[in-house]
Amino acid sequence: MRFLKRKKNGILIFGLPLTKYAIDMSTNLFSDFDPASKNDWLERVAKELKGRPMEELHWAIDQGIEMPPFVHREDASTAGQSAIGARRRNNDWHIGEQFEAVEGEKAVNTLLITALQKGVEAPLIRFASALSDWDWSVALHGVMPQMIFLNLDLRDMPKEAASNVLEGFVQWLATLQVDKASLKGAIATSSTEVSTLAFQQLPAFDLYAVVESSLSEEAQGPVAAMVELLEAAMSLLDEWTVQGVDLAAHSSKLYFKIGIGTSYFVEIAKIRAFHLLWANVLSAYGLTPTHATVEAHLSDASQTEEKHDNMIRATTQALSAAIGGISRLYIAPANASFETPTAFTRRVARNLQHVLKMESFLDRVVDPAAGSYYIEQMTQKLARAVWERLGESR
């Protein structure tokens, strides 16, 4: 392979004629290097440590779970790769943005229209318990519901108020003559009656939200967080089994709201491990294993009172979520935890996901972390610890 050079405006430019000298991608680029075994690496590490024990470099990622400073190919397991990637054709997710219903229908509509024009795919409207009335014709004026993934969070509302909001939405759809079966979205509610109504009226919506407590409380370890989520989901599966309902139909509408912290590798492995565990749970109930529907939010505990700190943290948090394999991602504006978000902080949060998709193309690679010996081992350790804990509790 040789480089050609030519002059342009007195500047020497080096160029490579790719059509003639393109790299053969089937060539083993490492063939000129001697292979290094795990023992070779360990000997080098021991030399660099100069007598210090290697255990000092171990990382405790959760109670009873440690990671060595490096993982070699000899330690790797391919179980995680096939189990996680086999059920997905890509790594795409919906770009989300959250809006507060308490600000009123007109304010929400203004923010919503801007967000949709700027690339948001899954707007989330969170309803407060004090809300007494809601006009969908104003809130969604100019919006084609069949073109978006509409996410409604009704968990803070009393049963009657939540029912009124949902019934109003269904009635508004009727005025548009929209085929409700074609609509995509999600509804989170604490009311069984509201979920039942949504199951009947909005057949393509995700309806049963299992929420990780770290979204609004102090962060917990990854094992405890996953045990909490899976135990709550299994309680629903048990309840549906006793009721004699169609378990497959109901379980397909179950989704998980997960909080993303700031520990980069742990958050990636946590989501990957959760996909493995959910597939195992479904198999245990005689259901076809599927990729878990994960809605990721920045955990409250990860937010500070300094917006610039939050902006920087959000980059790695969003990257962890995308690499781990989520279905929807909500990046809170950097000042949302202590003041009303501005157009600028909303734009920064929104564009972060655009960079991950449109410039980094993380949505195109199925399980981007597959083959990373370190993350694979961390995934397996977390999944094994959670599964053992579930076995003890049941």
Q: Which helix (H) or strand (E) holds 108?
A: helix 105-117
Look at residue 3 in the predicted model and tell me its pLDDT: 43
Exposure b/e, 201-217, CB count within 10 A at least 16 = b: ebeebbbbbbbbbbbee
- Cα 15 from Cα 2, distance rounded (Å): 9
With a CB cutoff of 8 Å and minimum separation 6, the contacts of 64 are 385
Is pLDDT at 215 greater than 70 in this prediction?
no
pLDDT band at 387 (very low <50, low <70, confident <90, very high): very high
Look at residue 374 in the predicted model and tell me its pLDDT: 93
Nearest to 376 by CA among 101, 141, 81: 81
State the sign of the Cα–Cα–Cα–Cα dihedral 212, 343, 125, 253.
negative
- Cα 161 from Cα 132, distance rounded (Å): 7
pLDDT tens, residue by residue, 35-91: 889 999 999 989 999 999 989 999 999 989 999 988 988 887 654 445 676 678 899
pLDDT tens, residue by residue, 347-376: 999 999 999 999 999 999 999 998 889 999
With a CB cutoff of 8 Å and minimum separation 6, the contacts of 358 are none
Is pLDDT at 209 greater than 90 in this prediction?
yes
